[in-house]
Amino acid sequence: MSTSYGTSPISIVGSPIERFLRGGVIPAQPLALTAERKLDERRQQALSRYQIEAGSLGIAVAVHSTQFAIHDVHSALLEPVLALVAETAAEYPERRPLLVAGVAGSTTQAVAEAQIAASLGYDLVLLSTYGAGDLTEHQLLERARAVGEVLPVIGFYLQRAVGGRYLSREFWQRLAEIPNVVGIKIAPFDRYATLDVIHGVGRSGRAADVALYTGNDDHIIMDLLTSFPTQTETGAPIRLEVVGGLLGQWAVWVKNAVEIMESVARAKAGDRQALDELIALNPALTDANGVIFDAAHRFAGCIPGIHEVLRRQGLLEGLWLLDEHEQLTPGQFEEIDRIWAAYPELRDDAFIAENLDRWLR
């Protein structure tokens, strides 16, 4: 069984976990706010409709691109946003996007958030170290086991520039050994740390049961194309593949992201033209991401950059974030102008323009 929204068919065969293991595009969802910094339900729903109809495998909510502050007690936004996205996804029973809820904080908080997500019909949780304080690696593993009793867990190697921490190769091995861990989002923006995850999963004995998704927004295409050599815990050589992306960069230009994944599949099947096109596209996407995520200022303008792209396309009305001091950094607006003109092939303006009024109704 499959369905489509204007381009390629999307398989909906199998359980949520089976579909997740096969891989695909899972965009992070930004938080739509009004000028008064209240939830803009109309535009939040439009974002969900956009991401679903663009052909994504699923949607990740309450993650870094949604703003981690949504997990703070005073925000009172976590459950309403999770509920609204789940309600909007239910408009597409024939498509059934996977629903991924970001959970954070102490073990108690993370379990409670996972229980909220489960009650709303979410399929998996993305377990961040945000708000986890100074928990040791052993304590983080115990936290993952506790959350996994509620919903299947995707581990998250978050880059340090936005609140992540160093985690050892042994940590990733032990995490992958947990039966209810079904995936890892690799997002340290660091080649060496990325390989730590690869080697850890290889040695876990569960490499076939743990899907690897890139969160390295600076290295998307090459992560997807690379076949990573590693070893099992007995020393037997194996190769691991990154099967999809769970990305803040894919909060924008989602239809193009789906097309990239399709090209990756063709390239891995031996299509040399697809491979050449992806290699040519790789530096353009990295350049665009560096501007949108504001790498020049250590990612200070990352979330405003995402919002600015969506504002230009009409999906968001403004750049209102939970932290009123979080804004585009000096020169970032002009740099977005530059990549907008330089890389029209990355954008999906026509797709959005064609459907925006319906998504916003």
What DSSP assignment string belongs to 319-340?
Answer: ---SSTT--PPTTHHHHHHHHH
C-alpha distances in Å from residue 193, one per residue of 74, 165, 200, 216: 34, 11, 11, 11
pLDDT band at 8 (very low <50, low <70, confident <90, very high): very low
Q: Which two tokens stand for residue 302?
A: 């990352």
User: In the CATH scheme, what is the code of domain 2-255?
Assistant: 3.20.20.70
Contacts of 111 (CB under 8 A, 6+ apart): 146, 147, 149, 150
Segments making up each domain of the chain, as ranges? 2-255
- Average pLDDT (229-234) is 96
User: CA quadruple 23, 350, 310, 51: dihedral positive or negative?
Assistant: negative
**β-bridge partners, 238:** 230
Provide the 8-state DSSP code for 33.
B
pTM: 0.95
> What percent of the chain stands above pLDDT 70?
96
Give the model confidence (pLDDT) of 166-200 as tens digits.
999 999 999 999 999 999 999 999 999 999 999 99
Task: Please report the pLDDT score of residue 225 as a whole number.
Answer: 98
- Average pLDDT (6-21) is 73
- 81 and 68 in contact (C-beta within 8 Å)? no
pLDDT band at 73 (very low <50, low <70, confident <90, very high): confident
Three-class SS state of 53: helix
- 249 and 220 in contact (C-beta within 8 Å)? yes
pLDDT band at 163 (very low <50, low <70, confident <90, very high): confident
- In this structure, what is the dihedral angle of CA atoms 145, 148, 150, 152, given to the nearest 10 degrees? 180
Task: Please report the pLDDT score of residue 1 as a whole number.
Answer: 32
Buried b (16+ CB within 10 A) or exposed e, 333-355: bebbeebbeebeebbbeebbeeb
Give the model confidence (pLDDT) of 196-220 as tens digits.
999 999 999 999 999 999 999 999 9
Q: Which two tokens stand for residue 17?
A: 């976990």
Q: What is the maximal distance between C-alpha atoms in the chain? A: 58
- Average pLDDT (44-48) is 98
- 52 and 89 in contact (C-beta within 8 Å)? yes
Report which residue type is found at 221. Answer: I
Strand boundaries in the chain, DSSP class E: 2-3, 10-11, 25-27, 58-61, 98-103, 124-127, 153-158, 181-187, 211-214, 227-231, 237-247
Contacts of 200 (CB under 8 A, 6+ apart): 169, 170, 171, 172, 173, 174, 175, 176
Task: Please report the pLDDT score of residue 48 as a whole number.
Answer: 98
- CB count within 10 Å of CB 325 equals 5
Q: How far apart are CA 335 and CA 340, in angstroms?
A: 8
Provide the 8-state DSSP code for 162.
G
- Average pLDDT (126-150) is 96
Task: Please report the pLDDT score of residue 14 as a whole number.
Answer: 84
Q: How far apart are CA 122 and CA 115, in angstroms?
A: 10
